Amino acid sequence: MTSTAIQEQAEVLRFPPGFVWGAATAAYQIEGAARDDGRAPSIWDTFARTPGKVFAGHTGDVACDHYHRYVDDVGLMADLGLDAYRFSVAWPRVQPDGSGPVNPRGLDFYDRLVDELCGRGIEPIVTLYHWDLPQTLEDRGGWPVRDVAAHFADYAAAVYGRLGDRVGTWTTLNEPWCAAFLGYAAGIHAPGRTEPGAAFAAAHHLLLGHGLATQALRAAGAGRVSLTLNLSPIVGAGPGAALVDGLLNRFFLDPVLRGRYPADILEHAARFTDLSFMRGGDVAVIATPIDVLGINYYSPSFVADGAHSPGDPAYPGTDGIAFLPATGATTAMGWPIEPAGLTALLERVARDYPGVPLIITENGAAFDDRVADGRVQDLDRVAYLDGHLRAAHEAISRGVDLRGYLVWSLLDNFEWAEGYRKRFGIVYVDYTSQRRMLKDSARWYREVIHNNGVGDS
């Protein structure tokens, strides 16, 4: 080995051979083409048009126009050297009514996208549900209604039928906690309802839909099936921290990976609903084995017991619990920057739920990016990503079976209720011209992928 090679080896924290490097997006956030080729409205189309729900009345009607620019976008991915690209399928493109006949023109788009990815040597990772429920299903009651879970499994089978010969990894749901509790309890995400009891029913039916879809995908021949959860270390002591951890983390991890709901959270949920929506055999379906667990990590949550604290409506029944603001550095979302929280989270999941490989399916940050002299010098994002990759590397060194890392997000995009004012992308998007520009973080990430590691400072 030459002296140069020895020096390079010493300067890079290497990840295991075969570690997957990728990027992630979601359909409603980037595709646009909201009325093209038979696509029907989703709950996010409706929510975005409801006055006061989304910043400045922004919608996903055009977004990044990825529907028409996907070839160029895949070219960007290839330029960065991505191993994998995680994208979601828009349910209302495939089944405009949410059930019944499949819209072949909707599936045609994903057919073309998958072919383009495969042709450039990029593994497609499909997420079947990233929050864009067909509005027709919400009109019939939405996720609190049991039938939606069965419709979701039918939809999953239909998508697999078209793409299954080229897609190896299938993720059923993205962040069911957000879909259930931000959408049905806090009302700050679509469909904008504030019904805590309905939120618990929605959470159960989302998980049931995951289990039914997993079974349908397995029956059709799927190789790898996954679920992606947004998880967070809860920093604090006392009963309040245990309750928040139960609502955010254990209520989803336990039924999927242990075959039972946590008893304390079921008792808590019974304050809001009679739990009659949970039927015998449901949890066995939910616990259908998965091949990999996707983890979306952004920050820890800091809580403390406080008698006069109002709690947070996204966590029903947390009156008397204070959700504390960050005290250190934050992103443009106001989220604390805590890379060590990722190490702790990965270790916790590996310890408490052993036997399932892990992949980081989202990690990234919004900052106030500006174009200057033809560049976006987002050094704060580079520092954020570097710190979190070091934290992931530390978890691997402690024995965690972590298989890959997908940065959020490939492109600046429609950031849900924040509209277009928050930028998470490593690629800058000028929403007027739709011009793409690699930020410095994208160039840095390209080197990370090339080296299969981060520089050792």
Residue 28 lies in a domain: yes
Residue pointed to by tokens 């009659």: 276
Tell me what the mean pLDDT of segment 210-227 comes to: 98
Residue 232 lies in a domain: yes
* Residue 268 Cα distances to 99, 157, 262, 274, 304, angstroms: 33, 35, 10, 11, 18
Residue 4 has pLDDT above 90, yes or no: no
Residue pointed to by tokens 């618990």: 200
Q: Is-contact 190 44, C-beta < 8 A?
A: yes
Q: How confident is the model at residue 141 (pLDDT cuts 50, 70, 90)?
A: very high
- At 195, the amino acid letter reads E
- At 106, the amino acid letter reads G
Residue pointed to by tokens 């309890």: 185
pLDDT over 70 for what percent of the chain? 97
For residue 405, the enclosing domain spans 3-452
Average pLDDT over the chain reads 96
Residue 457 lies in a domain: no
Residue 10 has pLDDT above 80, yes or no: no
Determine if the pTM surpasses 0.95: yes
Q: How confident is the model at residue 457 (pLDDT cuts 50, 70, 90)?
A: low
- At 180, the amino acid letter reads A
Widest pairwise Cα distance in the chain = 69
Per-residue pLDDT, 307: 82
Per-residue pLDDT, 306: 86
Cβ-proximal residues to 265 (8 Å cutoff; 6+ apart), any chain: 243, 246, 247, 250, 251
3-state SS class at 19 = coil
Report the alpha-carbon distance of residue 185 to residue 178 in Å, rounded. Answer: 10
Q: Which residues are catalytic?
A: 175, 362
Identify any residues that bridge with 158 across adjacent strands, giving them in sequence order: none
Number of domains in the chain: 1
Q: Is-contact 247 315, C-beta < 8 A?
A: yes
Q: What is the CATH classification number for the domain harbouring 223?
A: 3.20.20.80
Residue 351 lies in a domain: yes
Per-residue pLDDT, 2: 39
Per-residue pLDDT, 1: 37
Per-residue pLDDT, 330: 98
pLDDT over 90 for what percent of the chain? 96
Identify any residues that bridge with 436 across adjacent strands, giving them in sequence order: 429
Tell me what the mean pLDDT of segment 282-306 comes to: 97
| Structure-block tokens of residue 2 | 């030459």
Report the alpha-carbon distance of residue 266 to residue 273 in Å, rounded. Answer: 10
Residue 456 has pLDDT above 80, yes or no: no
Report the alpha-carbon distance of residue 391 to residue 343 in Å, rounded. Answer: 5
Q: Which of 96, 192, 97, 180 is nearest to 144 (CA)?
A: 180
Tell me what the mean pLDDT of segment 373-384 comes to: 98
Angle between helix 379-397 and 339-352 (nearest 10) = 30
Cβ neighbours, 10 Å, residue 423:
26
Report the alpha-carbon distance of residue 288 to residue 290 in Å, rounded. Answer: 7
Residue 197 lies in a domain: yes
Report the alpha-carbon distance of residue 330 to residue 378 in Å, rounded. Answer: 15
Per-residue pLDDT, 237: 86
Residue 343 has pLDDT above 50, yes or no: yes
Per-residue pLDDT, 8: 43
Report the alpha-carbon distance of residue 247 to residue 301 in Å, rounded. Answer: 12
Q: How confident is the model at residue 6 (pLDDT cuts 50, 70, 90)?
A: very low
Q: What is the Cα Rg of the chain in Å?
A: 21
Q: Which of 218, 205, 188, 183 is nearest to 252 (CA)?
A: 205
Tell me what the mean pLDDT of segment 84-111 comes to: 98
Q: Is the peptide bond before 191 cis (omega within 30 degrees of 0)?
A: yes
Residue 297 lies in a domain: yes
**CB half-sphere exposure, 411, CA atoms < 13 A:** 30
DSSP letters for 290-326: -SEEEEE----EEEEE-TT----TTSTT-TTEEEPPP
Residue 441 lies in a domain: yes
Q: How confident is the model at residue 16 (pLDDT cuts 50, 70, 90)?
A: very high
Report the alpha-carbon distance of residue 355 to residue 95 in Å, rounded. Answer: 35
Tell me what the mean pLDDT of segment 349-356 comes to: 98
Kindly state the helix (H) or strand (E) to which residue 171 belongs, with its residue range: strand 169-174
